[in-house]
Structure 1
Amino acid sequence: MRAGGNSTAGFNGLKRFKEFRKLVVVGLLALSAQAGFAQTAHVKIGLVLSLTGPAASLGIPARDTVALLPKEMGGRPVDYIVLDDASDTTQAVQTTKKLISEDHVDAIIGSSITPNSLAMIDVVADGETPMISLASSSKIIEPVDAKRHWVFKTPQTDAMMASAIAEHASNHGVKTMAYIGQADALGETFYVEVLKFAQLHKITMVANERFNRTDASVTGQVLKILAAKPDAVVVGAAGTPAALPPKTLRERGFKGVIYHNHGTGNRDFLRVCGADCNGTFLPASPVLVASQLPDDHPAKHLGLEYIKLYEGKYGAGSVSAFGSYAWDAGMLLNRALPIAMQAGAPGTPEFRRALRDALENTKNFPDSNGLVNMTPNDHIGLDQRARVIAEIENGKWIYQPR
Structure 2
Amino acid sequence: MTMKRKICALVAGVCLAVTAQAQVKVGVVTSSSGPIALVGIPQKNSVDLLPAKAGDLDIQYISLDDASNPTASVTAFKKLIGDGVDAIIGPSGTPNAMGVIQIAAEAQVPMLAPVGSSAVILPLTEQKKWVFKTTQNDDIIASALIDHMASSGVKTLGFVGTADPFGESWLNVTRELAEKAGIKVVAAERFQRQDTSLTAQSIKLIAARPDAILVAAPGSSSVLPQTTLVDQKYPGQIYQTHGAALNDFLKLGGKKVEGTILAASLMLVMDEVPDSHPSKTVARKYIDDYKTKYGSEPATFGANVYDAGLLLQAAIPEAAKAGQPGTVAFRQALRDALEQIKDLPATQGVYTMTAEDHSGFDERGRELIVVKDGTWRLLK
Relative to the length of structure 2, the TM-score reads 0.95
* Residue matched to 1:52: 33
Range with greater deviation from structure 2 (61-70 or 29-38): 29-38
Q: Distance in 2 between matches of 1:270 and 1:355?
A: 39
1:307 CA displacement: 1.6
Determine if the alignment matches structure 1 residue 350 to structure 2 residue 329. Answer: yes
Q: 1:122 offset after TM fit, Å? A: 0.2
1:163 aligns with: 143
Aligned partners of 1:290 and 1:299 also within 8 Å: no
Give CA-to-partner distance per residue, 1:238-272, whole Å, 9 cap, x none: 11121001000111111211111211111222211
Q: Choose the corresponding residue for 1:66, options 31, 44, 47.
A: 47
Q: Is 1:99 matched with 2:80?
A: yes
Q: Distance in 2 between matches of 1:219 and 1:286?
A: 33
The count of residues paired between Structure 1 and Structure 2 equals 379
How far does the alpha carbon of each residue in 1:66-102 deviate from its partner, in whole angstroms, 9 at most, with x for none?
111122333333221111122121111111111101x
Contact 1:291 1:300 (8 Å CA) reproduced? no
C-alpha contact 1:291 1:304 (8 A) present in aligned 2: no
Q: Identity over the aligned pairs, expressed in percent?
A: 41
Matched residue SS, 2:358: coil
Q: Residue 13 of structure 2: SS of its match in structure 1?
A: helix
Question: Aligned partners of 1:394, 1:33: CA distance in 2, in Å?
Answer: 64
- Answer with 260-269 or 126-135: which moved more: 260-269
> Is the Cα contact below 8 Å between 2:145 and 2:239 reproduced in 1?
yes
Deviations 1:12-58 (A, max 9, x none): xxxxxxx9x93x97467435522343234432111111112221111
Amino acid at match of 2:299: S
Question: Counterpart of 1:156 in structure 2: which amino acid?
Answer: Q
Query: What root-mean-square deviation, in Å, do the aligned CA atoms of Structure 1 and Structure 2 show?
Result: 1.7
The residue that corresponds to 1:115 in the other structure is: 95
Cα distance in 2 for partners of 1:324, 1:298 equals 16
Matched, 1:377 2:349: no
Structure 2 contact 119–165 (Cα < 8 Å) conserved:
no
| Structure 1 range deviating more: 72-81 or 132-141 | 72-81
Q: Is the 8 A contact 1:340 1:355 kept in 2?
A: yes
CA separation in 1, counterparts of 2:18 and 2:271? Answer: 43
Summarize the Cα distance change of 1:359–1:27 in structure 2 as closer, same or farther, 3 Å threshold.
Answer: farther
Distance 2:10 2:345 in 1: 43
Which residue in 2 is equivalent to 1:203? Answer: 183
Aligned position for 2:216: 236
Q: Structure 1 unaligned runs (5+)?
A: 1-18
Measured in 2, the distance between the counterparts of 1:27 and 1:89 equals 51
Where structure 2 has 5 or more consecutive residues not aligned to the other structure, the ranges are none
Matched, 1:134 2:86: no
Rounded to whole Å, the distance in 1 between the matches of 2:7 and 2:99 is 46
Contact 1:57–1:240 (Cα < 8 Å) also in 2: yes
In the other structure, the counterpart of 1:89 is 70
Among 151, 155, 178, the residue aligned to 1:175 = 155
The answer for the alignment partner of 1:254 in structure 2 is: 234
Contact 1:54 1:239 survives alignment (8 Å): no
Write the mapping of 1:145-156 to structure 2, written as runs, cut at 5 A.
145-156=125-136
Between 142-151 and 237-246, the greater mean CA deviation after superposition: 142-151
Q: Structure 1: how far apart are the matches of 2:97 and 2:373? A: 33
TM-score for both structures, normalised by structure 1: 0.90
Question: Could you tell me how far apart the structure 2 residues matched to 1:131 and 1:270 are?
Answer: 31
The alignment status of 1:193 with 2:193, answered yes or no, reads no
Structure 1 stretches of 4+ with a deviation exceeding 4 A read: none
SS in 2 for 1:52: coil
Give the stretch that moved more between structures: 26-35 or 86-95.
26-35
Task: State the secondary structure of the residue aligned to 2:139.
Answer: helix
